């Protein structure tokens, strides 16, 4: 409940808050999503899970993840105002129609960045050539781990919003739809992400560690 209480207090503030940072011990595992991110179609998932060699590889990948993953997240809350032509005014420049539609009727937004750290990147590089199956499983698991971290935080934001009589909209990330990935150049510094979360940005606006996510959650 500590995280939810801190989010509630941030939502009560009528101006942009300073970033806050959470660290989690773990995030619930979504095995189907893990396999999907590992490029195994849903129709084949039960088949591969019944293969003893494959299940042993999954167990090995999970052991690597337990050793290497961290679960860190930073967020801030900002009010949303609306421009004369109907676009949300946020602390970064954007003219995304899809984000505008997603944030319809919202007066507040939660901006966050999440990462499971660079350890998974190291493990993926270690195995992607020597053991491609393990490399692919680790790629998929890293993607699932950071998305599960986002889901965990999203659920906390939902609970905080509901306690105040509000609802949330679906989270929306830079690089999705017509929201350009280049907004990361403004987004990440808002959260002091390099110093506090260890997330850096390449010239092509790709994040490192690669298993990192930024997103916006609108509050209605």
CA–CA separation, 106 vs 63, rounded Å? 41
Q: Which residue has the tokens 């609108």?
A: 218
Q: Give pLDDT, residue 113.
A: 98
- Write out the two tokens for 144: 């699932």
Q: Give pLDDT, residue 18.
A: 97
Q: Give pLDDT, residue 89.
A: 95
Q: Percent of the chain, pLDDT > 90? A: 93
Provide mean pLDDT across the span 189-212.
Answer: 97
CA–CA separation, 145 vs 70, rounded Å? 10
Alpha-helical regions (H) of the chain: 2-12, 31-37, 42-49, 52-68, 97-102, 119-127, 132-163, 184-190, 193-197
- Write out the two tokens for 84: 């004369």
Q: Give pLDDT, residue 48.
A: 84
Provide mean pLDDT across the span 148-173.
Answer: 98
Q: Give the containing element (helix H, strand E) for 88.
A: strand 88-89
Q: What is the distance of C-alpha 88 from the center of its chain?
A: 21
User: What long-range pairs does 204-211 form, CB within 8 A, spacing at least 24?
Assistant: 205/175, 205/181, 206/181, 207/115, 208/118, 208/121, 209/115, 209/116, 209/117, 209/118, 209/120, 209/121, 210/121, 210/142, 211/115, 211/116, 211/117, 211/120, 211/121, 211/142, 211/143, 211/145, 211/146
Each residue's pLDDT tens digit, 10-40: 999 989 999 999 999 999 999 999 999 999 8
CA–CA separation, 92 vs 112, rounded Å? 13
The band of 118, judged by pLDDT with boundaries at 50, 70 and 90, is: very high
> Domain containing 192: what range?
2-219
How many structural domains are present in the chain?
1
Each residue's pLDDT tens digit, 32-57: 999 999 998 888 888 888 889 999 99
Each residue's pLDDT tens digit, 58-111: 999 999 999 999 999 999 999 999 999 999 999 999 999 999 999 999 999 999
Provide mean pLDDT across the span 170-195.
Answer: 97
Q: Give pLDDT, residue 9.
A: 97
Q: Give pLDDT, residue 30.
A: 95
- Identify any residues that bridge with 208 across adjacent strands, giving them in sequence order: 200
Q: Give pLDDT, residue 49.
A: 82
CATH number, domain of 109, equals 3.40.109.40
Q: How many CB atoms lie within 10 A of CB 31?
A: 13
Q: Return the higher-pLDDT residue of 47 and 141.
A: 141
């Amino acid at each position: 409940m500590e995280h939810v209480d801190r989010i509630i207090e941030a939502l009560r503030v009528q101006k942009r808050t300073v970033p806050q940072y959470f660290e989690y011990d773990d995030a619930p595992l979504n095995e189907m999503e893990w396999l999907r991110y590992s490029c195994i179609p849903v129709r084949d998932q039960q088949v591969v899970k019944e293969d003893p060699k494959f299940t042993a590889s999954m167990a090995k990948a999970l052991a690597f993840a337990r050793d290497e993953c961290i679960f860190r997240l930073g967020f801030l809350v900002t009010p949303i105002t609306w421009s004369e032509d109907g676009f949300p005014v946020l602390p970064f420049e954007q003219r995304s129609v899809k984000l505008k539609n997603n944030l319809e009727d919202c007066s507040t937004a939660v901006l966050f960045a999440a990462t499971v750290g660079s350890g998974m990147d190291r493990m993926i590089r270690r195995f992607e050539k020597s053991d491609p199956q393990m490399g692919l499983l680790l790629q998929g698991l890293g993607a699932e781990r950071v998305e599960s971290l986002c889901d965990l935080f999203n659920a906390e934001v939902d609970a905080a919003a509901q306690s105040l009589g509000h609802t949330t909209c679906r989270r929306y990330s830079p690089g999705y739809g017509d929201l350009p990935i280049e907004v990361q150049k403004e987004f990440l510094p808002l959260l002091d992400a390099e110093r506090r979360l260890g997330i850096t940005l390449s010239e092509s606006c790709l994040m490192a560690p690669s298993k990192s996510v930024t997103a916006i959650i609108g509050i209605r």
